[in-house]
Structure 1
Amino acid sequence: MSTQDVVGRAVIREIRPEDDVAVGELLVEAFTTQYAKKLPEVVYTEERKRELRDVAARRKIASLLVAELDGEVVGTVALFPPGAPGSEAWLPRAADLRGLATAVKMHGSGLARPLLDAAEALARRWDMDAVCLHVRRGAVGVARMYMSRGYVREPEGDMNLPTVFLEAYVLRLK
């Protein structure tokens, strides 16, 4: 299946409650598989996997979008409004983009592009000044993908957590 075929046929829509299980499993599979290949030192604990699977809780505080292809959920992304619980945006009037993932079988298909297009369009509808996000230090390919879309590195938003260092990026909308 060509990249154009996937991107052209994928439907990006708001998540529905019946998508929660599929999205949770997609997140666990995508993150554990990608990090295992590119950052083998990263270990996903059972607690972290439970957090990823708790899509219903995120759906209450953030806007979640899914990519659907032939009736199957094959991608997702979340956008947290300013001040939402769990938001990591460090700028006022900025949405926090989190949890971009595609099904492992879809990696390299270009499916991230329409998911990000939809999330960024949503931030514009919310009249946000920017979209903030974090990338795990060492995930060079992920950072490069965001920078190719116009996100810029903004170290003042970095997060040095007990188990991970997250590098901050921002897309200015205004």
Structure 2
Amino acid sequence: MSTDVTNRVILREARPEDDKVIGDLLVEAYTTQYARLMPEVVYSEERKAFLRDIASRRNACTILVAEVDGEIAGTVALYPPDAPGSEAWLPRTADLRALATGVRFQGQGLAQPLLAETEVIAKRWGVDAISLHVRRGAKGVARMYERRGYQRVPEGDLERPDVYLEAYLLPMK
């Protein structure tokens, strides 16, 4: 049975000393969740190295962490419009990437405060929308975003050799 920990969450911007914990959290969360929900998904060592390389993305985006009782329990990155690494397909659009909660915190409501904070940041930036991509077949993930008001926008889909990503957009106005 999951316990809601949202009343004990502290949201803050990630610091350089958090990079290893964030990278390990991303790899563990993605490989564990996808292995359970989509066993055909395999993360290459190259992809895992990219997920762990938080430092190289720090200057391009805002990386947030959710702490529970002093432990980093979740993370998300928000790229401003036109930032290196952004996958936004529309101008004046922030791009949400790398949302994850630690395995032992999954199902406890941590994604919601992280997403709410990205929306606050996007409004402060004055963007028109937040974009994101969800791996095709990750129905539960897509439903979570749809419940927050994200709309499916097929023209923003990305097809890569190893994955098809479906696009979603949250208008900010």
- TM-score calculated relative to the size of structure 2: 0.98
Stretches of 4+ moved more than 6 A in 1?
A: none
- The corresponding residue for 1:97 is 96
| DSSP-derived class of the 2:127 partner | coil
CA distance in 2, matches of 1:159, 1:74: 29
Task: Tell me which residue corresponds to 1:166.
Answer: 165
1:109-167 deviation line (CA, Å, top 9, x unaligned): 00000000001110010001000000000000000000000000000000011110000
- Unaligned 5+ segments in structure 2 are none
Percent identical:
63
Please report the RMSD computed on the Cα atoms of aligned residues, expressed in angstroms.
0.7
Cα distance, 1:71 vs structure 2: 1.1
Partner AA of 2:54 in structure 1? V
**DSSP 3-state at the match of 1:163:** coil
> 1:173 & 1:56 partners in 2: Cα distance?
29
2:144 corresponding residue in structure 1: 145
Distance in 2 of aligned mates of 1:109 and 1:2: 6
Corresponding residue pairs, total:
172
Specify the alignment match of 2:48 in structure 1.
Answer: 49
Residue 123 of structure 1 is matched in structure 2 by: 122
1:2 corresponds in structure 2 to 3
Task: State the shift of 1:2 in Å.
Answer: 2.6
Matching residue of 1:73: 72
Normalising by structure 1, report the TM-score: 0.97
Residue 131 of structure 2 aligns to a residue whose secondary structure is strand
Show the counterpart of 1:133. Answer: 132
Q: What per-residue deviation string (whole Å, max 9, x for no partner) do you get for residues 28-78 of structure 1?
A: 000000000011111001110000000001111110000011111110000
1:35 is the counterpart of 2:34: yes
Give the Cα–Cα distance (whole angstroms) in 1 for the partners of residues 49 and 159 of structure 2. Answer: 22
Q: Give secondary structure in 1 for the equivalent of 2:56.
A: helix
